[in-house]
Amino acid sequence: MVRVLKTLRKELTPVQKCRIWTLHEDGNNISQIHIKTGYPHSTITTFLNRHTLTPTDDFENKPGRGAIRKITPRGERHLLRTVNLEPRMTLKSLASPSKSGHKLNHHTVASILKLNGKAKRRPRKKPFLTDEHKTRRRAHYRAEKAMKRDNRKVY
């Protein structure tokens, strides 16, 4: 599935903002700044209006908004360490506060493990074959061979 971008324009970098502001300080108007930089008029106007209302020396972009992290990076590392030491633990037992420092939902734990390449990691116990298993398999093989079935001719 192809992801459709919401807009083709991106946020101005601090270097671009600084360039627009220095051109403005040198006495260039919006059209001249547009010709020299190639940025749209609306972008230049919006930036200049915003920067004149709240003048700061810092041209850094504000951090994006989004959901708050449920777990700190330290807690995430602790959770991964627990998973590596005890791979048979269930997701619900990993969601307890003792494993990461926070009470989490098991779906959150699953997504954290998936991001770190530990998804579907729970090993199953594989029983070892006993002598009885070997004799039964051998008997089954001999019975199949005795039928002289040719699998290429089965329709």
Answering whether pTM is above 0.85, one says no
Tens-place pLDDT, residues 73-128: 999 999 999 988 988 888 888 898 887 777 899 999 999 999 999 887 666 777 78
Look at 33 and 90; give whichever has higher pLDDT.
Answer: 33
The mean pLDDT value for 16-22 works out to 94
Cβ neighbour number for residue 12 with a 10 Å cutoff: 19
Give the DSSP H/E element, type plus range, for residue 136: helix 131-147
DSSP class of residue 111? Answer: H
DSSP structure string for 19-59: HHHHHHHTT--HHHHHHHH---HHHHHHHHHHHHHS--S--
- Predicted confidence band of residue 37 (pLDDT cuts 50, 70, 90): very high
The mean of the pLDDT values for the chain is 86
Give the least confident one: 24-33, 76-85, 93-102, 135-144. Answer: 93-102
pLDDT, position 98: 81
Give the three-class secondary structure for 74: helix
